[in-house]
Amino acid sequence: MHGYGQLAEFFVRKFKSFFSPEVLFIAPEGTNYNYLEGFQGRVGANWMTKHERETAIANNHRLLDKLVGTYLEKYPVKPKIHVLGFSQGAATATRWASQWDRKIDSLVLWAGGFALDLDLEQARGKFADTELILALGDRDEMITSEHIQKQEELISCLRKDVLRYTYPGGHDLDPELLEKIINQNY
């Protein structure tokens, strides 16, 4: 799940070197759009804003349930499910994955983290058998010490081990770490 202001068609390109007949990548796109600068030019998508926030969250859940469910119907043996959320997409991924009715094998939160409004009791049960991974750049200008502290508090409440990775870089996907995480899960 992409971050704020991104479009899925560009985000999924970062995974292109991992495409194969054995792995299906699904890159949903947030349904809210805006110009990234002013009133014209490049457009980006986001998962929600403060305007009608709860409605947007519910709509995201319905969209993701239907999208992923439609693909899974095609498999007689259900495949492993790995979810990666980047930046704003990380919070969206945690909200959705914690309420989805199927097992998530791994949940990667990249340059973001658990939604601050996550239902911790529900998430604790749902993520009991899910590998949880956090990936943060050591120069990510979007991640503050306050953000890290809040995330540590949420993780403590989840009572779950979380694999933590840092990489040299900022608010972006690091190709080497991405390869490591993908290879360890397939």
For residue 171, what pLDDT is reported? 96
Whether residue 147 is contained in a domain is answered as: yes
For residue 99, what pLDDT is reported? 95
* pLDDT in single tens digits along all 186 residues of the chain: 999 999 999 999 999 999 999 889 999 999 989 898 889 889 999 999 999 999 999 999 999 999 999 999 999 998 999 999 999 999 999 999 999 999 999 999 999 999 999 999 999 999 999 999 999 999 999 999 999 999 999 999 999 999 999 999 999 999 999 999 998 876
Whether residue 3 is contained in a domain is answered as: no
For residue 165, what pLDDT is reported? 97
Which region, left, alpha or beta, applies to residue 52 given φ > 0 means left and ψ of -120 to 50 means alpha? left
For residue 38, what pLDDT is reported? 87
For residue 16, what pLDDT is reported? 94
Whether residue 157 is contained in a domain is answered as: yes
In 102-186, where do the E strands start and end?
106-110, 131-137, 162-167
For residue 186, what pLDDT is reported? 66
For residue 185, what pLDDT is reported? 72
Whether residue 77 is contained in a domain is answered as: yes
Whether residue 2 is contained in a domain is answered as: no
Q: Which amino acid is at 83?
A: V
The tokens of 159 are what? 């009572």
Number of domains in the chain: 1
The tokens of 118 are what? 């996550």
The tokens of 7 are what? 């479009």
For residue 184, what pLDDT is reported? 86
Whether residue 179 is contained in a domain is answered as: yes
The tokens of 75 are what? 């498999």
Residues spanned by the domain of 101:
8-185
Q: What is the CA radius of gyration of the chain?
A: 16
Structure letter (DSSP) for residue 110: E
Return the CATH number at 28. Answer: 3.40.50.1820
